[in-house]
Amino acid sequence: MISKQNNIIVSPKQPYFVMAASRYYKAVVMDYGISHFYCFQNDLSENSVIAVPDGSIDILFCCDEKEPYATICGTVLQPKIVRNVKNYFFGVRFLPGQSFKFKNIAMKDFVEHEVPLLDVINDNALFEKITSSRDFNYQIQTFMTGYLKFYTTSQASDKYVDLKKQMLQKINDTGGQIKVKELADEAGYSVRYINRVFSEEFGLSPKLFCKLMRFQHLLSNLNDFDKDIYDTNLAQLAIELGYYDQSHMIKDFYELTNTTPGKYVHSLKEKEYKKRLIVV
pLDDT in tens, 169-181: 999 999 999 999 9
Provide the pairing of β-strand 24-31 with 277-279.
Answer: parallel
Sign of the Cα pseudo-torsion (118, 124, 130, 132, in order):
positive
In this prediction, residue 84 carries a pLDDT of 74
Nearest to 215 by CA among 196, 242, 235, 195: 242
In this prediction, residue 5 carries a pLDDT of 45
Taking the whole predicted model, whether its pTM rises above 0.75 is answered as: yes
In this prediction, residue 207 carries a pLDDT of 96
The residues of the chain scoring below 50 in pLDDT are 1-6
Rounded to whole angstroms, the Cα distance separating 280 from 278 reads 6
- Tens digit of each residue's pLDDT (9 = 90 or more) over 71-123: 999 999 999 998 877 889 999 999 998 877 777 788 899 999 999 999 988 89
Rounded to whole angstroms, the Cα distance separating 43 from 87 reads 7
